Structure 1
């Protein structure tokens, strides 16, 4: 009986090896040959799943979004809207070994995205995080934690804060405990029960 191969799982396995290459050698270190060596696969097997360097980079970038979404959804939410929002925000920062690894890869892609690299731009999570922040703050406004007109500007400010904190933690300029405290201060300053 022929063996059933999960092609998406094989592609995710290759993406994990591509992430390791990015962490070790930067984006320029990712080639089909390097990915074959890292994964132990033949170059032909790599090409079967991800036929070009661009395909490798695009899929690796897409996996950042998927991993982050899955990670945040796996957090032990309590049902308290502010506490759960806080937990999700902290899940976007490099405060654990796993989130640090993903955000190191994100930062490598960020440099290329500035130059207009399409695959790199997919990795930035900008649209996904932006949508999440707008939606969550809109819900918090509906629940009376801030004025409805304040939700959009608050989302922009918070997004910039998270991006900045992430970079500073990755660069070793801000300790994780200080990053967490900055998020807490923002939440305390911005969210309070209205009326």
Structure 2
């Protein structure tokens, strides 16, 4: 009796095959033919799941976003806000092989998004979600801060996380997991310890 294949599970497996090709050959090398070869399928079989390279790449990029969000949402959170922020936000940094693979693929997609409208839309969606998450953490960590201060601190935290991820992809030998963790934790601790410039809504 032939083995039944879960359609969505196979699509996720093919997305991972695309990631492997992208890490090795770049986004330009992730053709339908090359990804099919990486997955051990014929080109015709892969087209049963993805009709074109743009469809495959869009799914593979969204798969990065979904995996990161699921992991961050599922990590056990300490009760104390500062410790919770450290644990959750660390899930967004490439601190192990799984996250390093996601990060390298994500950076490759972001570069491709400069000339690819569907990928650019996904990039913007992901960055809007990250900025929103940063805003929520700033509100929780600095509840007495003025509105303007919260906006600035949100952008600073957003830029820190994104910048660390890019540095890790570009110079992994220098931007080590220990260094990334230390920079994030130091920033969050200073954020909590700093005296608020005012209360929300004050001029």
**Same-fold status (TM-score > 0.5):** yes
- Paired residues, number: 193
1:165 deviates by: 1.3
The RMSD of aligned alpha carbons is 2.3
8 A Cα contact 1:50 1:56, kept in partner: yes
Q: Quote the Cα distance in structure 2 between the aligned partners of 1:15 and 1:82.
A: 35
8 A Cα contact 2:12 2:63, kept in partner: yes
Query: 1:147-195 CA deviation, whole Å, 9 max, x = no partner?
Result: 4542221111111111111122221332222221211221122124979
- What TM-score comes out, normalization by structure 2 length? 0.85
8 A Cα contact 1:58 1:120, kept in partner: no
Q: Which runs of 5+ in 2 are unaligned?
A: 197-203
1:39 deviates by: 0.9
User: Which secondary structure state, in structure 1, belongs to the residue aligned with residue 136 of structure 2?
Assistant: helix
1:4 deviates by: 4.9
- What TM-score comes out, normalization by structure 1 length? 0.88
Aligned to 1:39: 39
Q: Quote the Cα distance in structure 2 between the aligned partners of 1:116 and 1:50.
A: 18
8 A Cα contact 2:17 2:38, kept in partner: yes
For 1:1-195, list aligned pairs within 5 A: 4-119=4-119, 121-123=121-123, 125-142=126-143, 144=144, 146-170=145-169, 171-172=171-172, 173-192=174-193
Moved more, 148-157 or 62-71: 148-157
1:34 deviates by: 0.8
User: Which secondary structure state, in structure 2, belongs to the residue aligned with residue 76 of structure 1?
Assistant: coil
1:79 deviates by: 2.2
Query: 1:85-118 CA deviation, whole Å, 9 max, x = no partner?
Result: 1111111111111111100101111211233543
- Going from structure 1 to structure 2, the CA distance change for 1:15 and 1:4 (only over 3 Å counts) comes to same
Q: Which runs of 5+ in 1 are unaligned?
A: none
8 A Cα contact 2:110 2:119, kept in partner: no
8 A Cα contact 1:21 1:30, kept in partner: yes
8 A Cα contact 1:141 1:147, kept in partner: no
8 A Cα contact 2:82 2:189, kept in partner: no
User: Which secondary structure state, in structure 2, belongs to the residue aligned with residue 103 of structure 1?
Assistant: helix
